[in-house]
Amino acid sequence: MSQILELAQTKILEPAGLAQADLDKLFSQLVGPGVDYADIYFQYSRQEGWSLEEGKVKSGSHSIEQGVGIRAISGEKTGFAYSDELQFPALSQAANAARAITAQGESKSVAITTRSSDDKLPRLYATIDPLSTLADEDKVRLLERVEQEARRLDPRVSEVMVNLAAVHDVVMVARHDGKLAADIRPLVRLNVSVIASEGDRREQGSFGGGGRYGLDYFSDDLVNEYAREAVRQALLNLEAVDAPAGSMTVVLGPGWPGILLHEAIGHGLEGDFNRKGTSAFSGRIGEKVATEQCTVVDDGTIPNRRGSLSVDDEGTPTEYTVLIENGILKEYMQDTHNARLMGTKPTGNGRRESFAHLPMPRMTNTYMLPGEYDPQEIIKSVDKGVYAVNFSGGQVDITSGKFVFSASEAYLIENGAVTKPVRGAMLIGNGPDVLTRVSMVGNDMQLDTGVGTCGKEGQLVPVGVGQPTMRIDGLTVGGVQV
């Protein structure tokens, strides 16, 4: 048995007095005629947060959540129940409730001779508890240092807020087919927000990062860079002029602007929407949906990235999935349920916010591979347009394909040169069509710094994005200047 599985059992099963035989009993209740798939997902999660404002770490919080989610699937039907009590009677009750969806039929005992787990699975992050990788007084000092650095940089910095979060997540999933998988997932994040004031004007800037590391990831150099970036953005916004309104050429910078791909392309390629035929991309595998320069992947296998997982929440190892290759739509992202119904294989994208939520196809790290252009050459090619390098978030309507993403740092491009900064504006476009307008892809592919959280049907999961500099011929910029 793998070390991670042993650790997970010690953390979750043993304190509740549960043994392998209890899992067998639960599967006997869950599995019967008509049940195609069943799983039991155990989770123990500990989180800590510290926040600084007005120069003081005024508050900290700590939370522990544990529980089990039990699911039985019959055809397209899913029965689901969860419990935050791990004792056998609570589990048994949850199993009965989940099983009820398959209606009639006696449950019968299933003989699972051996539960197997894959010991050879590559592990993408250390099995650490990040909460204990730094002493509490040092966490406080870290936040204070970041604050001091931000204030030191410019006297116009009037407010500084710093947040530090650490999560220790232990999960174990047992499936009706005997598969057993466990994962220990550290996750840390540090964020700096500043407000800069000059005269009557106040503007904000924020920056941060993190990943599947211990808190020692936040070296002095790194957090000083976060502070510098946040301050730079706030000061820049003090100079910003109104954004233009209307359709124009837009150049997106590398890295975090990849949320374009997440919203415009990614969600529409999730298996559930495509099985149901509700996505603007439904039934379009093999079609040209982008210019030839565009190759987009979802890659859950990058070590230590915020969106990475050694195994997904159904025990499937994550993959490097090519979604669009040289402009052609290749594959959807799948969990086991939607893959089975679509007659394809799961791609390691079955994710859930917690034991209390049903898994769904979700993205991991979604990015575009580098192209051939020098980023400077791309800027030079534009007579009049907008250069957007930082964003605060986005959203998409899967069915109509319309998506938005909100620029927090952007500039005008005039006669091939980046000129004035413009105030924040929404960019809006049509998912299936936006990549067909990509005329230049840069050679400067970057991943984001580790701050993304994606929401779908009310469930939040950490994700990553990335891209090289990219020129889009015609995207609507939602400014006020007509």
Partner 1 sequence: MSNHDITQKSETDTHPEKGEAALKELAEHVLDTAKRLGADSGETAISRSQGFSTTVRMGEVETVEHNRDKSLVVTVYFGKRTGAASTSDFTLAAVEDTVRAACTIAKYTAVDEYSGLADPDRLATTIRDLDLDHPWDITVQQAMEIAQQCEDVALRFDSRISNSEGATVSTHRGTEVYANTHGFVGATSGTRHSLSCSVIGEHEGSMQRDYWYSTNRDYRELESAEAVGQTAAQRTVQRLGARKIKTTQCPVMFEAPVAASLLAHFTRAINGSALYKKASFLLDQLGNPIFSDDVYIGEKPHLPKAVGSANYDSEGVATEDRDIVNGGVLSSYVLDSYSARKLGMETTGNAGGTRNLYIKPGQHDLTALLKEMDTGLLVIELIGSGVNNVTGDYSRGAVGYWIQNGEIKHPVEEVTVAGNLKDMFKRIVAVGSDVDTRGNIRSGSILLEQVTIAGE
Residue ranges in 267-306 that form contacts with partner 1 under rule CB under 8 A: 276-278, 280
**361 lies in the binding site for partner 1 (CB under 8 A):** no
Residues 304-343 that bind partner 1 (CB under 8 A): none
**28 lies in the binding site for partner 1 (CB under 8 A):** no
Select the span of 215-223, 244-252, 288-296, 299-307 touching partner 1 (CB under 8 A). Answer: 244-252
Angle, nearest 10°, between helix axes 88-99 and 20-30?
20
Task: Using CB under 8 A, pick the residue from 393, 418, 437, 473 that binds partner 1.
Answer: 393
Q: How far apart are CA 202 and CA 237, in angstroms?
A: 9
Q: How far apart are CA 331 and CA 349, in angstroms?
A: 12
Nearby residues of 381 by Cβ (< 8 Å), 6 or more positions away: 416, 440, 471
Residues 32-71 that bind partner 1 (CB under 8 A): 53-54, 56-67
Secondary element (H or E) of residue 465: strand 459-467
Residues 417-476 that bind partner 1 (CB under 8 A): 423-426, 428-430, 476
Closest CA to 24 of 9, 11, 40, 10: 40
Using DSSP's 3-state secondary structure scheme, residue 274 falls into helix
Angle, nearest 10°, between helix axes 136-153 and 220-238?
40
Using DSSP's 3-state secondary structure scheme, residue 478 falls into strand
- What are φ and ψ of residue 24, in 5° steps? -60, -45
Task: Using CB under 8 A, pick the residue from 79, 346, 350, 462 that binds partner 1.
Answer: 79
**10 lies in the binding site for partner 1 (CB under 8 A):** no
Least separation in angstroms between CB 118 and partner 1: 29
**In angstroms, how far is the first alpha carbon of the chain from the final one?**
65
Tokens 């397209």 correspond to 76
Q: Count interface residues toward partner 1 (CB under 8 A).
A: 81
Indicate the residue among 98 and 187 with the shorter CB distance to partner 1: 98
**91 lies in the binding site for partner 1 (CB under 8 A):** no
- What are φ and ψ of residue 332, in 5° steps? -95, 165
Least separation in angstroms between CB 202 and partner 1: 6
Indicate the residue among 81 and 231 with the shorter CB distance to partner 1: 81
Concatenated DSSP letters for 410-425? EEEEETTEEEEEE--E
Least separation in angstroms between CB 120 and partner 1: 34
Residues 119-158 that bind partner 1 (CB under 8 A): 136-137, 139-140, 158
Residues 157-186 that bind partner 1 (CB under 8 A): 158-159, 161
Residues 183-242 that bind partner 1 (CB under 8 A): 195, 197, 202-204
Secondary element (H or E) of residue 338: helix 336-342
The count of other CB atoms within 10 Å of the CB of residue 278 is 12
Select the span of 80-88, 292-300, 341-349, 362-370 touching partner 1 (CB under 8 A). Answer: 80-88
**103 lies in the binding site for partner 1 (CB under 8 A):** yes
Q: How far apart are CA 290 and CA 254, in angstroms?
A: 18
Indicate the residue among 279 and 321 with the shorter CB distance to partner 1: 279
Indicate the residue among 56 and 380 with the shorter CB distance to partner 1: 56
Least separation in angstroms between CB 442 and partner 1: 25
